[in-house]
Structure 1
Amino acid sequence: MSSFLLPLEVCEQFTSAIARFWWSSDTEKRGVHWASWDKMCIPKKDGGTGFRAIHEFNLALLAKQLWRLLRFPDSLLARVLRGKYYPYSTPLRLTHVDSPSYGWRSIIAAKPLLSMGIVQKVHSGLNTRAWEDPWIPTIPARPANARIPVVHPRMTVSDFINRETKEWNVQMLEEYMNPEDIPLIRSIAINKTFHMDSYS
């Protein structure tokens, strides 16, 4: 489950087998289900029994693999996958791959789930794309919204930083950014040592 995305039919079969085992002492009989499976999957601390929703648990394990690719880009697995699927990008920016393996398709299936809980840290801003990467500190984090419909699609966050003072270039922000985003952006501390950008 941490390597491959299970088909929904298989997840449903697992769920059915667990429910039969829980509600019936006779494996040949279905038994009475006294509560819906959604309620059974509520965590114990919230009054449920803590069963795993198989499909969601599968995606969570795959998201953990994707997170490792981001956090440890020099690991053997990350280097192999980067060489094959995203040599000039990151897994989160990837849009299309020709003939991907089932293992890679499984890992990428968890991208929407992972994207809900991460934010890209702005250090130098050189590796953070302003209109693509999730760097605006909202919940979930998201890319910046442009003030005008036509923008330079490859702009990075470093384009909005004054290289001499290492502070936000307010004039650039007001020219390109949606006014609602500007207070959020100015609340982001810039690392003045200009380390590489990273995810958290």
Structure 2
Amino acid sequence: MQATVLPKGLCQEMEKIIRRFVWGGTQENRNISLVNWETMRKPLSDGGMGFKDLSVQNNAFLMKVGFEILTQPNKLWVRVIKEKYGWREKVPLSITRSRCSRLWKGLDTVWVEVRNSILWNVRNGEHTNFWYDTWVDMEGPLVARCTMPYMPLPTPVARMVTGFGDWDWRQLEPILPDEILAKLEAIQPPRAWFGEDVPSYRWEENKVFSVRSAYQMLVGSQHAMANEKWRVVWGLKSPQ
């Protein structure tokens, strides 16, 4: 599951075995399922039992491989696989290849999610796209907040700085709302000597990838709040 895409049919078959086990059934004798399986998949804090959607879990594992390639470029296996598939850009828009290994096919399956989960740590500003990458914390791509009547051209963050090293407010103030300008004011403008921009993971406070938060993001619950009543229920000192 951590290195190849499993067929959905195989994941469904494994989940059938898990369901039979949970409700005390066998392959020959099925017991009644007392709770809907979608409910059982919910986390404990939301009234479920925390069982995983195995196909989604598979994708979360593959995203981990993708982030290791992005954030640990000096590892031997990363250097080998980049050379094998001609990886030249910092973060390619697409990694699709007509002939490739199972691992690479798996990465291609989740590459859109990997790209959408990147938060750029801007240093020299050369590799981060001002409009179409995510680099302002808690904001998505700034193109969604642009007030221009047309789509802006892809522009490195470094091009939005004056020759004196400050944000180019004359260029930015007419095309971005005040709350975004306030966030930019709190960010250090890029400097050529700061080194290359570094990709990090946007769904964790410490900006380090975790399979847990990747799974939650893929099922659409990364912002779900724990339900207080279920915390009380699970905390009761009573027979299970």
Deviates more, 1:25-34 or 1:52-61: 25-34
TM-score (norm 2): 0.70
Q: Which amino acid aligns with 2:150?
A: P
Pairwise mapping of residues 18-167 of structure 1 onto structure 2 (< 5 A)? 18-94=18-94, 96-139=96-139, 141-142=140-141, 144-145=143-144, 147=148, 149=150, 151-153=152-154, 155-164=155-164, 166-167=165-166
What do residues 76-135 of structure 1 show as CA deviations (whole Å, max 9, x unaligned)?
Answer: 222122223353213453364343333212113223333444311111101212344222
RMSD between superposed Cα atoms in Å? 2.6
Is residue 125–residue 158 contact of structure 1 (8 Å, CA) maintained in 2?
yes
The answer for the alignment partner of 2:194 in structure 1 is: 194
Is residue 143–residue 152 contact of structure 2 (8 Å, CA) maintained in 1?
no
The answer for the alignment partner of 2:11 in structure 1 is: 11
Percentage identity across aligned positions?
A: 24
Cα separation, 2, equivalents of 1:91 and 1:98: 19
Report which structure shows greater RCO (CA 8 Å, sep ≥6).
Answer: 2
The Cα shift of 1:26 comes to 3.4
Q: Which amino acid aligns with 2:188?
A: A
Cα separation, 1, equivalents of 2:115 and 2:33: 36
Is residue 91–residue 108 contact of structure 1 (8 Å, CA) maintained in 2?
no
Is residue 86–residue 94 contact of structure 1 (8 Å, CA) maintained in 2?
no
Is residue 118–residue 134 contact of structure 1 (8 Å, CA) maintained in 2?
yes
Structure 1: 5+ residue runs without aligned partners? none
Q: Which amino acid aligns with 2:37?
A: W
Q: State the SS of the aligned residue for 1:67.
A: helix
The answer for the alignment partner of 2:228 in structure 1 is: none
Structure 2: 5+ residue runs without aligned partners? 201-240
Structure 1's consecutive aligned runs of 4 or more residues displaced over 6 angstroms after TM superposition are: none
Change (3 A) 1:38 1:112: farther
Q: State the SS of the aligned residue for 1:109.
A: helix
